[in-house]
Structure 1
């Protein structure tokens, strides 16, 4: 378990990782969706979502396997941090530090992307890569979808990190799941399953509709995922965690 000073250091690492993730997300959306030769060559929404999903999934894998990622656990997602607390990987006293760092990194990441790519990152169709559900989705439907998606991710992470023969494949599994969520759900729910994914983009874009859903539903989903993991495997100890 982390001591308070170590929790502060690790949360600083989470800020850097989440900053990198959101900078990368905004960047790939800028070039795949915004005005560019790539967006003209791949005009279909589903194809664009697949490219975005593949690049973001690969980015997630790279960040998890990086030295910084190995140090903090590379949650980059408040829902994952809550799950890791429930799994006994980090102490409850560290969760607030992690979540604050992740949300701060999210906002700083999209603002940095705006600084690099200019106004095109802030205007439609990029709009800081902020998510919004399809017009026919209600807040209740979106809440259920985001909670269930996050619950499945947490369940898979909990299973993979608890079973020794699967643990080393966890980063790649997460990358594939992120790619699938973006590709399959991007046009309907946004495929977030991560409060930090929407927090920075929504604040920067002034897009507050459904923000509470994107923030709260994954947290409930994380709780459900940990319960499902415990029902499936019992209170088996997770085999990986942040380095002190």
Structure 2
């Protein structure tokens, strides 16, 4: 192995380690927020699920923006979401050799962050109303409706990210825009489909809580949405400007 190849592999591992750290922090804080807002014994308990999800969405969006702007986020790109990683790769904005290490790191961080929250907050995290912050759809929603909602949500989010890919001059606004978009998804879709649009957001909580009924949907639908969003992005870029011309 040449020195340049070894250096490249080391760089990939370092950036994947950043993604592991970001996903760990994201899930620890996500479980923590749900623990305090949905535990009936908590002083911050919000009984109305819809109101709680609006608050959770606002806090989650703020956390995500902060993680993207943090030093690890600036180094790795602050994906924290396997679907975002896949979408950026398919939009030719991220090298394919980093996709698998990033996804594995994000999923591992999801488990680590959820487990850390369980160790920190104890049995309160296991209460039915908290359930390790596992995403759950409305009982009235069928699996196909949940799949469609998760796919569509990630498709729209991917197109939003694609806007910044096509217009680098706007990239400074991306952390705030993505954070606001995720907050909106949680507030609007949370009471219906669960509003995950992030396989890593569900993987650790579902694994540790044992709530794996719709896990396949929450893992696969965002990836499909990212792929469809990337395809639409390429079509839009071709229509707006020929390839090879500056944006």
TM-score scaled to structure 1, two decimals? Answer: 0.92
Aligned counterparts of 1:26 and 1:46: Cα–Cα separation in 2: 17
**Structure 2: tracts of 5 or more residues without a match:** 1-6
Aligned residue number for residue 18 of structure 1? 23
Name which one, 1 or 2, has greater alpha-carbon Rg: 2
- Residue 90 of structure 1 and its aligned partner are, at CA, apart by 2.5
Query: SS of 2:117's equivalent?
Result: helix
Return the offset for 1:126.
0.6
Alpha-carbon distance in 2 for matches of 1:236, 1:31 = 50
Once the two structures are superposed, what CA deviation does each residue of 1:167-226 show, in whole Å capped at 9, x if it has no partner? Answer: 111111111111111111111111000000100000000111010000000000000111
Matched, 1:31 2:36: yes
Contact 2:91 2:233 in 1 (8 A): no
Name the counterpart of 1:205: 209
Match of 1:8 in 2: 13
2:3 is aligned to: none
Structure 2 matches for 1:43-122, cutoff 5 A?
43-122=47-126
Q: Is the CA contact (8 Å cut-off) linking 2:93 and 2:165 kept in structure 1?
A: no
Q: Output the TM-score relative to the length of structure 2.
A: 0.91
- Describe the superposition over 1:218-237 as per-residue Cα deviations: whole angstroms up to 9, x where unpaired: 00000011111111123879
Cα distance in 1 for partners of 2:13, 2:62 equals 27
Task: Pick closer, same or farther for the CA change 1:135–1:233 going to 2, 3 Å.
Answer: same
Paired position in structure 2 for 1:241: none
Q: Which residue of 1 aligns with 2:196?
A: 192
Q: Does 1:218 align with 2:188?
A: no
**CA positional deviation for 1:137:** 1.5
Counterpart in 2 of 1:141? 145
Superposed CA offset, 1:139-179 (max 9, x none): 21111110110010011011123213421111111111111
Superposed CA RMSD: 1.5
CA distance in structure 1 between the partners assigned to 2:226 and 2:138 by the alignment: 24
Q: Which stretch shows the higher mean deviation, 89-98 or 174-183? A: 89-98
Q: Which runs of 5+ in 1 are unaligned?
A: 238-244
Once the 2 structures are TM-superposed, how far is the Cα of residue 87 of structure 1 from its aligned partner?
Answer: 2.3
d(CA) in 2 for partners of 1:124, 1:45: 13
**Does 2:126 align with 1:127?**
no
8 A Cα contact 1:63 1:74, kept in partner: yes
Distance in 2, matches of 1:236 and 1:75, equals 26
Q: Offset at 1:136?
A: 1.7
Q: What is the CA deviation profile of residues 116-140 of structure 1, one whole-angstrom value per residue up to 9, with x for unaligned ones?
A: 1110012211110001111121221
How many residues get paired?
234
Show the counterpart of 1:156. Answer: 160
How far the C-alpha of 1:20 sits from its partner, in A, is 0.4
